[in-house]
Structure 1
């Protein structure tokens, strides 16, 4: 039994326009406007390479519109009459695009008198009838009418998939009704009128109610209102409109697709490497030439493909993705630099290169203390060099002196015009800074490229190389071991270290070549990537600055906490009537349920009564012992995590703590702080808040804390467009008091503090998808009363309800939601058959755009504030970022400037439908400033 075959059809006309608009104005001779335009050509190459890597297919073709009129022009002379002529710069690139697409291995179809959509429709339906699975790559929604159980539309530019379920979710009607839907809505791009003032919602509603366009026409007299009148006016036109929007699936293509019934004429072939080199050189694509040379595929692999696929699979590298081709990367040239002559040759290479992948090997993962053991470079795929500098095992060969090598590299490293690339560049910046070098010119970070494009996947280099290149590499633990037996990188043999480090630099460059075109092709994702790169720079500065810690204050707090923890133990023993281990779930269970007879709230999977945090909180509402245990746990964690350890983590010379901000962790775009975690200090208790007293300013300075006010509610107002929410924020009304007035039906001035508290819980609870049960529990009221509050809330804020419903529907269709600025937040469980998982994803779909937009805003603020501090040469330092808050160390003579300018800058980084508001406070320590 043979595997089912796949046909991949590329809507070339859609691709070339998207490539033209997505790419900058590239020229064959950079900077010379008189030389041929090449942006669309380069974009087309990028897009087809990505598609070939991501989609396996046995057959394929790239289909373009032929010049001149088609049969639809004869039917309707006004067809496409409103279309602007093709821009001259794009027209000049069409012929070279056809040429390079063929050289890349794709059959090119361009059939006179027939539109590309009709060629695609004919090929798709013909293949589907033969049992072939068909994938059409296009951003054109018109092709949705072709979708069925064998034909799927994909758009690799934005990850959208239009299968039967996807089309139904997106348009509100199944694919079989898409022609009728398009007839009613019309097509303004092609100048095909629909029914006047009938949009997508009305069209979908009619078709679902009447079953089809024919059913609707037969009962047109029943349709009421202005829409019904407009429908009846259009009855004579609708058959012609339907004829124009229907994609033909029976076109005569024999002269252009030899042997169409067997699909033999449209097998994807191998790249024509030699001809591609000539083409790339002609149009100035130097990096593509280098990529070709580094990734030439051996004849053995071609034969391997034939054997694996069988003779019916076509010729050669049919559709071999990177996972096949890159597994046999040939011509790797990895140099180990042990003398000045080779070093000088590599200096010439990196000085001349447009982009250099740079990687450091160090003796520590702690970036503030790490020292360089070696440095690697790659200037083109398959070529890299390692400069060992501090390997110190017994028989290590002589190495170039580290200080002198760094001195020679310094001008290039500190030159912002020399573009550099890395994987997690913030770490390498710290490492070089430890040697007194401020690296400038980092243009790209593959970790952040992956984070923006595929936030839900791993972003380590090994994962990226495997996923996008099909390349595996040497594992760090294979070199250094793990656990207690792990050795320092300085103890690794230079021979092995060179292979490992060269491979890292080489793969980093290779991954960049795979990911960067995808970012270039999407304006929104490119904006987010540029924001992440700028944030990396600002975060490096924040981490480098660190925050001064008052160790004696922490020691005093630890002493007090220790005494209170001991007292709590004694109080717990008295309540239990016996000593027991407050950290043992088993002993707690025996005391609670056997001795004291407390009610069992829930059970563990094994059937034993549970004593987890949720159970303790529930029991603590009625019994004193669980409350004592909760307090004991909280204080013990506070002492062990913060008051005991923060002082120990301070740098011995500066007395400052330098946290690490991880950018590529949270799917919402929020930062994660660790070693130590400064974002999760428990501030709901007086003891937790007091920890911030130990974050102090040096003599002559103060601490300033500036944070956004009610940022997620403001974002909800912006995204939902709800009139009442917008009015509250625009007029500066207390939004919780305004919500209480709406929900309880009172004038704002009569709202009590308790009603305001209820409204605050509702406002924030609904952002996080809280149910009536959750709200009831949070407020301590009946579920029925909570449901009534929610109903009244949505009645008063209908825009919020519409946003929630539409967002969930869109998330189900696309598999992701977006922030205001275009960051994508993927939801893998949004269509899960598992109810709780699906429910969790639906709640995340509502909240993630707000959390993600808040994360984008604080990053925009960090970047802007740091730029202004630098431009004005201020001595104020940004020292922490905690959720929606920026913390500064401010010289006393700059306090007034900071008081005015920082909130102004933060409020001005974006223009939403409601004003952003940042508030600032000052004090000798963080607690007093907040």
Structure 2
């Protein structure tokens, strides 16, 4: 075992910017705009705690940039000139961050006149020369030049490790050439020019060929082309550039770091518990303060608090997803019964089971996880169950493990019967990771679980929508913990074994670890949500939506298999006919799916123009090319129709009936709640949202979604929801007037843009206005509008200009939203959901433009997603209370679909639109319309 000591150096400046941009806008007094922002402080604490858990340190320091100029500014006055000033909200958090980092046990350094990188470089080299292993935690690639056999860079935010091999693999040059590499490439962040038009690949190629920058400069005359010319033109600058990018490793730090070079003053310290408690209470970090205390009862009881509490002044929409008041508060506040001894238990006897069941009955919050036979929640059966009630304590109940080595297990029916009262009691608060899946699994065994108050997947989705939400990723990101993977246990691909065949001891370790990590992740994430009123409300909505979606998935929708079979037959006949027609036009049979054969027929035989080429230089025949050519040639039009019908047949008419669950005869789609960054739901197995309803054949697929005898299908759809949201957000007076007056908004827009009376608008003008209305919602450019309308770009630009003249509030909204997105890195829905835009400040023009378009559209898409979820929750609540015979069976885009007895049609027509319209109060009225029919298609 090595006796080497380890020094951990944290790039504090990198950390605090990451914490500031990654964390919510927490404030010392939640909701008070005059109160100091604290998101970076909270994020910094998280990151420092996670790093300390993950990496052992004998010596440790967190290094920040000090304010004021450094020697580089004297060398090159334009150094860092392009950097935006530090945001005021971050500046106010610097001193508290220094304070709390010290109390967490780290030495804090911020040395005037010396950049943090130079302090890190000097300390790292000083320690390495003494045989001390050095780990630098930073996301800054510039520090890679320090790497050697004793110095390693880690980036805990993405798991990247830059040792000698890592640097070489990432940049194409070893660490000792990184200064030369950076000199050639330059540093746009710090405004240090390199050689114009020389990027990473060219720099790495030159250095590996010539061995060093000095040798490259000596032989610059040999470099051909524009790159060689640019190199020669930059020779006078390169020494200065090299000086600017070189990290100093010989700074005089003795007066700032007592005891250098011995490093003893930087020994990792103990946490200052009393000081931290006062600090956390001062800044409103209740969860962190509780975690420091020894009083487990109050901490656990607080963790069990409902996900959303109604506060004075809340809007009525809060009632839609507020949890029922907990009963039996004495039980909830009781101390946890002593868990059976041992870190993780495997329950194989009734005595052990009864002890754990007693623990569950008094635990304020229990993390719960199931191991099953399938990922299909409607078919999955339980193999085992795990619980965790406090960190480090968990138990696994194996129920269906098989094989010669499997121990005797408690009978599954009796175990579930004994667990059922606890599982179905809402007073016993439960926590999970993707709880909707586990609810289905228990329901397959006749148990309707109540009392799920938290879901770590949804917590992550609300807080950090742009990041992965799987448990392994969450544990790594927030706890610095890694664990056993499913593939470790079961293998991969064709050799994967069922979970029931996994060794019980390994299965117990895996499942207990999942429950334990879920509880730990919750303790890290819940305080962040609790401290932000807007995000807390969005999380409460997501929890309530999960409940409603569970009900929708469980209900399913009846499928008419004979109707689908007839449609498949008709589509097959038409597909064969299209193939024959395509062969006749081409003058020969050919493979309609072969790009090579299509290219030969299109361009060589029929002489069609080449629209574009692939990355390899081949003539493209992709869908965009076919659509362009179809404007003038019949064969591409036939191929487009053929492709659409083949896809429709293969995806829907052939497969829908096969997806029906045998025991119900219904299709039970799965709604993925934590996928789309806008908050929209996605649907799969089958995907109900991608049925191509713009074609007659596509619309007919909905005829196969039917109601049983004596019942009908009803569809309730928000009318022009995103345009109404645009009117609300922009506050444009003309748009607001159109909706309040009940006008046809597209006709009203056409009247404004074309300067005619509303009653004089032609159908063509209305069509143009509709494209403009919806196009601008999606940030469409004049080029995009021109392509959509089939007109010149100048004409499209003129229409847009006229639109903005008539609707100045819309233009102001777009400009202000883009500016806010660039400043904050995200936009928000009306209700506070955050939609992150990582490319909004990208130097890549097309990516930045895409992010700007998304910034305009995301608040509307996201608000529409929030509204349909609110509607779903409100409607389900009403159905439970008054009309349990009416079942919600689908949610598709802005539409809710129901199955109901024929006698309930009048109630649905009158009450569902009212409920959907009343979920929120906007500046324009919300309007929902209901259609009824024997199948989904006829209900429109």
Q: TM-score, normalised by structure 2?
A: 0.70
1:341 corresponds, among 348, 351, 354, to 351
Partner of 1:542: 552
Counterpart position of 1:402? 412
Q: Residue in 2 aligned with 1:69?
A: none
Pairing 1:281-680 to 2, within 5 Å after superposition: 285-286=295-296, 333-680=343-690
Give secondary structure in 1 for the equivalent of 2:830. coil
SS class of match (1:586): helix
Separation in 2, partners of 1:651, 1:132: 61
Q: Is the 8 A contact 2:660 2:666 kept in 1?
A: yes
Q: Is the 8 A contact 2:575 2:645 kept in 1?
A: yes
SS in 2 for 1:680: coil
Is 1:58 aligned to residue 61 of structure 2? yes
Q: Deviation of residue 127 (structure 1)?
A: 3.6
Q: Counterpart of 1:455 in 2: which secondary structure? A: coil
Pairwise CA distance, 1:487 = 1.4
Deviation string for 1:358-414 (max 9, x for gaps)? 000000110001000000000111111000000122331100000000001001100
User: Match of 1:801?
Assistant: 811
Corresponding position of 2:916: 906
In the aligned structure 1, how far is the partner of 2:361 from the partner of 2:40? Answer: 30
Please give the alpha-carbon distance, in whole angstroms, between the structure 1 residues aligned to 2:718 and 2:118: 50
Residue 653 of structure 1: SS of its match in structure 2?
coil
Matches for 1:650-799 after TM superposition, within 5 Å: 650-799=660-809
The offset of 1:825, in angstroms, is 0.7
Q: Provide, for residues 855-890 of structure 1, a one-character-per-residue CA deviation record: whole Å limited to 9, x for no partner.
A: 000000000100110111431000000000000001
Assess if the C-alpha contact under 8 Å between 2:47 and 2:478 holds in 1: no
State the distance in 1 between where 2:843 and 2:100 align. 41
Q: Is 1:129 the counterpart of 2:128 in the alignment?
A: no
* C-alpha distance in structure 1 between counterparts of 2:8 and 2:492, whole Å: 45
Cα separation, partners in 2 of 1:762 and 1:285, compared to 1, 3 Å: farther
Structure 2 CA distance for aligned equivalents of residues 9 and 373 of structure 1: 45
Aligned counterparts, 1:761-910, within 5 A? 761-910=771-920
The runs of 5 or more residues in structure 1 that have no matched partner are 24-39, 62-96, 109-122, 136-164, 167-256, 292-330
Question: In 2, Cα distance between the equivalents of 1:643 and 1:406?
Answer: 40
Residue 52 of structure 1 and its aligned partner are, at CA, apart by 3.4
Residue 85 of structure 1 corresponds to none
Q: Deviation at 1:133?
A: 7.6
Q: SS in structure 1 opposite 2:367?
A: strand
Provide closer, same or farther for how the CA distance between residues 925 and 831 of structure 1 changes in structure 2, counting only shifts above 3 A: same
For 1:17 and 1:586, the matched residues in 2 are separated by 57
Residue of structure 1 equivalent to 2:271: 271
Cα deviation for residue 260 of structure 1 reads 15
Change (3 A) 1:258 1:606: closer
Q: Where does residue 923 of structure 1 map in the other structure? A: 933
CA contact (8 A) 2:300 2:365 kept: no
Give the CA deviation at 1:259: 8.9
CA–CA distance in structure 2, aligned partners of residues 431 and 372 of structure 1: 7
Aligned-residue offset at 1:653 = 2.5
Instruction: Report SS of the residue matched to 1:438.
Output: coil
Q: Give 3-state SS (helix, strand or coil) of 1:928's partner.
A: coil
- The answer for unaligned runs of 5 or more in structure 2 is 1-6, 53-59, 65-95, 120-187, 190-255, 279-288, 302-340
| Structure 2 partner of 1:176 | none
How many pairs align? 708
What TM-score comes out, normalization by structure 1 length? Answer: 0.71
Structure 2 distance, partners of 1:475, 1:738, is: 58
Deviation at 1:268, TM superposition (A): 8.3
Distance in 1 (alpha carbons) for counterparts of 2:833 and 2:839: 19
Residues 569-588 of structure 1 show CA distances to partners (whole Å, capped at 9, x for unaligned) of 00000000000011111111
Q: 1:6: how far off?
A: 3.8
Distance (whole Å) between structure 1 residues aligned to residue 850 and residue 887 of structure 2: 40
1:581-624 Cα shifts (integer Å, max 9, x gaps): 11111111111011111110000111111000000000001100
SS in 2 for 1:58: strand
Over aligned residue pairs, what C-alpha RMSD do you find?
3.8
Q: Distance in 1 between matches of 2:102 and 2:811?
A: 52
Match of 1:825, SS state, is: strand
Separation in 1 of the partners of 2:562 and 2:544? 37
SS at match of 2:619: coil
Secondary structure, counterpart of 2:563 in structure 1: helix
> What is the rounded CA distance, in whole Å, between the counterparts of 1:267 and 1:806 in structure 2?
49
